[in-house]
Structure formats: structure tokens, C-alpha cells
Amino acid sequence: MEKAAKADHTPFKRNAGKGHMDSLTSILVPIHREGHRFVIIFAAVTVVFFLLWQPLGWIGVVLTLWCLYFFRDPDRVTPQREGLVISPADGVVNLITEASPPPELGLGDMRRTRVTIFMNVFNCHVNRAPVAGKVKRIAYRPGQFLNASLDKASDDNERNSMVIERADGSEIVVVQIAGLVARRIVCDVAEGKELKAGERYGIIRFGSRLDVYLPEGAIPLVALGQTAIAGETVLADGISVEPHHI
């Protein structure tokens, strides 16, 4: 009887251990390579803080943990249906309006529906391709570092614009825009690159926004104030027959 009881409990313990490992894995997400040196710097400064004054060191620990959290790079499951435009960033939809794409792209003055996603310092800042297609053009323009939540940030702030051409020939524009504390826009792709929907293509450090200029006929499916998840939230649908409301 005693041996049987041990045999019954062994599988339970093994499964319980596996469950703990799965939970730990789900919490520990990879860190984007742009964050590695910042985490090291924060950790080194924290050690110095502890040597100077212990309470200051604990503040450094909190800041180091925030730095790790900021540069997290989780996996995402991206919808792949034809016609969908996926959010390229984590954040809040704070503008849905009509506007012309950045002039440096040479796309003319035709106005398009623009969806703006504002990222605060607690959002994941890894940027993802909103659609599958070929990178047709990339244009960087230096500028100011105004609050990225302001409408005029689209025109005045430092930005990196990219045109993606889909298989049907339609084009979508996605613009990385620096913010009040953002000082570096990173774009890891070059013109001619074939991207998959939801594929990582860059990051902006420490607060910013992304503008998405939808192709003609794409219907916005998000609302102002809605939280978007990069690589997962559907921003618009190019083949939907639902009415278009801004």
C-alpha cells in the first residue's frame, strides 16, 4: 500500500514541476538587443549607489528592473488574413484622422486615413510590420522632440518613414516618431526587404509614437483610447464591408 501511494504521487510532482517551469517561462521574456547595454549600465550604477548609500541602491534596483521591462521583446501571434492591417506598436490609439504621408516619401498630397498609436515609457517599444510586403522606400528626417501625443509631432518631430508594398500593389506607410524623451529611432530593415505581417523591424527608445497611413479602402477597426498590441491588434481591414467611422 505504501509503495502504491508513492507511485501515485510521483506523476503529480513531476507535472507540478513542469507547471512551475511553464509559468516562469511565460514571465521571463527576451530582452531586445538594443537594451543590453542599458541594462548593464543601470546595474553598474546601482552597485555604485549601494556603495554610496543603501536606500539609493534600492532606487537603482527599481530603475534597473524598469529598464529590463522597457526593453522586453515578447513573442506575438499575428492574424494572417488577407487585407488586415496589424498594429505596429503597443500603446493607445490617440488619433484617427485624415492626413498626407510625410513629403520625403514622395507619395504626393493625397490624404489618407492615419491611425496614431502613442507609446508611454511602460509600453513594449519593439515595432512590427503592419502588413506583409516589400519595403519600397525608407526615409529618415531629423526634427524636434516634442511630446509624441501631440498632433503636430507628426510634422515636427524626428521620424523614420517606411512604405510597404503588398502583393496586390497597394501601399501602406508606417512612421516611427521620436517623443519627448526618445532620442533614438532604430530601423533594422532596408529597402527591398520582404517582411511578414507582425515581423519585428525596429524599436524606439524611451517613449514615442507610430503613425500608420492606411491604403485606400481600408476600414479602421479601432477606437480612440483603445489599447493596441503590436503584432496582434487589427487596426484596419482592406476588404471589410462595414461602414467607415472616424
Which sequence positions are flagged as catalytic?
Answer: 208
The DSSP line for 146-184 is --TTSTTHHHHB-EEEEEEE-TTS-EEEEEEEE-SS---
Q: Rounded to whole angstroms, how far apart are CA atoms 182 and 237?
A: 31
Q: Which residues pair with 115 in a beta bridge?
A: 96, 212
Strand arrangement of the beta sheet that strand 112-119 belongs to: 194-195, 133-141, 159-165, 171-178, 208-213, 112-119, 91-99, 227-228
Amino acid letter at 40?
Answer: I
Q: Report the side by side order of strands in the sheet with 200-204.
A: 126-128, 200-204, 185-187
Instruction: Tell me which residue of 240, 245, 95, 239 sits closest to 175, measured CA to CA.
Output: 95
Terminal CA-CA length for the chain: 71
φ/ψ region of 114 (left if φ > 0, alpha if ψ in -120 to 50, else beta) reads beta
In contact, 71 and 32? CB cutoff 8 Å? yes
**Of 241, 238, 244, whose CA–CA distance to 85 is shortest?**
238
